Amino acid sequence: MDEVIHLPRKPMLKLLILAALVLLCILPAHAGPYAEFDALIESKDVAKIRRAIEELEAILSRNPEDGEALWLAGKAYLYLGDRTEEGRLELFEQGKEYADRAVEILPASPHAHYWLSALIGRIGQTRGILSSLFMVRPMKEALDRTIELDPGYAAAYWVLSQLYQQAPGFPLSIGNKKLALENAQRAVELEPGNLEFQLQLARALDHNGDKDAARSLLQKIQADPELKKDPELMAEVEAQAKEWNL
């Protein structure tokens, strides 16, 4: 279980790499100060992520029932954990505490359920393969709830694709090649310009034996000028190209 679900960038539950995960992410704009916090997190700059955490926790110290601040804090801790070596598990666990509380306060928020799923995956991945296997079900349940609340939540399909691809198949877990491909296709249908989603679609195509289509799509991603704007994703694409001898 080396790759996140890209919630995901190591095999089984880099879930999140998967994502991210990831990650990653792929949220609609927020109004007011929430948009500023989300922009700080999405910068993937550790100092800015820490600043977002400080400001969100200041808000929560005044209003512990602020559901938006809670799930954003969970997301921030996930992003920080992805970019921190020491104390990574503790960061993910802190993020999950915020996401759990967000789900309690905002049970109809797809964002709260999505980031809870991502943090469950990161914790399982960090603890090791057995923990990851035990966390597949609760992670999938949170993703299913995300989609139930918002059928157009593209990131949830992206992570589900990675989960179906990287988890062992029956009877150990839910791994399913066909569902990995279908969810990747759905994510790209919803956000056709998202290069992370396209990368997962290429991997799902390869996983289903359609190597020509997978490599053709990866080459298309490599040629997209938008890729240069995300050095982390570009490195991942280059690593995949190397693995496929492209």
List, in order of start, the domains of the chain with CATH numbers: 6-185 (1.25.40.10)
End-to-end CA distance of the chain: 24
With contact defined as beta carbons under 8 Å apart, do 147 and 156 qualify?
A: yes
Tell me the pTM.
Answer: 0.84
**CA–CA separation, 235 vs 179, rounded Å?**
27
In 3D space, the residue among 83, 68, 88 whose CA is nearest the CA of residue 27 turns out to be 68
Tell me what pLDDT residue 192 has: 96
* Residue 17 DSSP one-character state: E
Tens-digit pLDDT profile for residues 180-194 = 999 999 999 999 999
In whole angstroms, what is the distance from residue 216 CA to residue 218 CA?
A: 5
SS (H, E, C) 66-96: CHHHHHHHHHHHHHHHHCCCCCHHHHHHHHH
pLDDT at 170: 83
32: alpha, beta or left? (left if phi > 0; alpha if psi -120 to 50): left
104: its two tokens: 């309690």
- Which pLDDT belongs to residue 135? 87
Counting as low any pLDDT under 70, the low residues of the chain are: 1-32, 129-131
